[in-house]
Structure 1
Amino acid sequence: MGPDSMGPNSMNTGSMDTDFFLSWLNGAAELIRLRRDHLTELDAAIGDADHGTNLDRGFAEVRQALAEWPPTSPEQVLLSAGNTLIRRVGGASGPLYGTAFRQMGKALETPVTAAGFATAFEAGVRAVERLGKAAPGDKTMLDALAPASKALARAVQEGAQAREAFERAARAAEEGAKATIPLTARKGRASYLGERSIGHEDPGAASSALIMAALASAAA
């Protein structure tokens, strides 16, 4: 069965088609657009004050690329998004998010199940760890992505359907982002501030939580 043979009720059978991935990334782009100023405010406190602006521009480019060159598989959706973010977004966020989506696309197997998605998502998170030379606790996007990956894997192991699994992952990402507030930044521009970075939510973790929220919305 090919990815495009799955109907609109594919979530009920535990598999995800191309339209699902398009819905996820278009939803992520919209959430980032709506929260652009908030992300930039977070970045103004401990970074270069451009995270929201850069990501909004990058995900707008992703939407345009997906519309102009429609992908025919979930893998193509992720690879197109990853390539676009790497090319179009400045700073660290473009290469990091772009690498995550590209690695997910490479690791994904069709038909896509919740278990397969969880495996591919973990591969994407590991790629971010390698590229950023960071780990959970460093006050980066990994503080949202790593707990989301663990929650997703745990939900799948417990037999949860994709919708519930993604909702649990989104909650873990949001909690992880909020948990960066008392941390001292150890990577990136924020690390230059030392203890002055304490008391501020990491903008990369905040945007990661938005992307995971969009995933849960796509499943709903």
Structure 2
Amino acid sequence: MRDVGFFRSWLRAMAASVDREAAWLTELDSPIGDADHGSNLQRGFAAVLAAWEEDPPTAPGDALRSAGRTLISTVGGASGPLYGTLLRRAGKELGEATEVTDSQLREALFAGVTAVAQLGGAAPGEKTMLDALVPAVAALSTSYQAAARAAEEGALATVPMLARKGRASYLGERSIGHQDPGATSSALLFRTLADTAAGAS
């Protein structure tokens, strides 16, 4: 069973990972985006932790909903609404339970990724964060580590893709050869989830 402490540990680990990788994420975003993905996420996850200091979440769903709201309100560009939707929808799925099973978390994350796809109007293969998120949630039925690997492989697979959605799609053929920053940060989200689960088990 996973309690609110697990979710706080996961998103704290994500915040630390984004801090470490912010320059890289922004470097990936420079040729095909607005060169702000790393700094935007860094600001957003720092705000999540600050909000939790003021008003600590009391349940897993509460932690995800709170984080989602904060990301939407503090992160610019598309990544705030997309990450916010992912976490808020997953949190809504978990409801008010004080502990959740791994199966419930898998279902919640699937619901969150489905909501992201609906919001962005995108599908796998279009060089977006869904290229990491969709294979990750599919692999969750195997293990958290399998999900993290699937997300990382999905992010790498965006390099040869032609962007068909988002800012990168404006570049047409010039988007080919670059790794999608949103898929890359999505892989960080699942890597930190897998590492948190490994440390908690």
Give the TM-score taking structure 1 as reference length.
0.88
What is aligned with 2:93? 107
Q: TM-score, normalised by structure 2?
A: 0.96
Q: Does residue 72 of structure 2 align to residue 94 of structure 1?
A: no
Computed over aligned residues only, the root mean square deviation of the Cα atoms, in angstroms, reads 0.8
Deviating beyond 4 angstroms after TM superposition, the runs of 4 or more aligned structure 1 residues are: none
Residue 195 of structure 1: how far off its partner (Å) = 1.0
1:94, 1:134 → 2: CA distance?
16
Q: Which runs of 5+ in 1 are unaligned?
A: 1-14, 156-164
Q: Which of the numbers 18, 27, 30 marks the counterpart of 1:32?
A: 18
Identity between Structure 1 and Structure 2 (%): 61
Map Cα deviations across residues 10-63 of structure 1 (whole Å, 9 max, x no partner).
xxxxx1010000000000000001000000000001110000010100000011
In structure 2, runs of 5+ residues without a counterpart are none
Structure 2 counterparts to residues 44-63 of structure 1, below 5 A:
44-63=30-49
* Aligned counterparts, 1:1-220, within 5 A: 15-108=1-94, 110=97, 111-153=99-141, 155=142, 165-220=143-198
- In the alignment, the residues of structure 2 paired with residue 210 and residue 22 of structure 1 have an alpha-carbon distance, to the nearest angstrom, of 16
**CA offset digits 1:74-99 (Å, max 9, x no partner):** 01100100000000000000000001
SS of equivalent residue, structure 2 residue 140: helix
Distance 1:186 1:57 in 2: 27
User: Which residue number corresponds to residue 7 of structure 1?
Assistant: none
Larger Rg: 1
Q: Aligned with 1:46: secondary structure?
A: coil
Which whole-Å CA distance do the structure 1 matches of 2:133 and 2:52 have between them? Answer: 24
TM-superposed CA distance for 1:218, in Å, is 0.8
Q: Which amino acid aligns with 2:185?
A: S
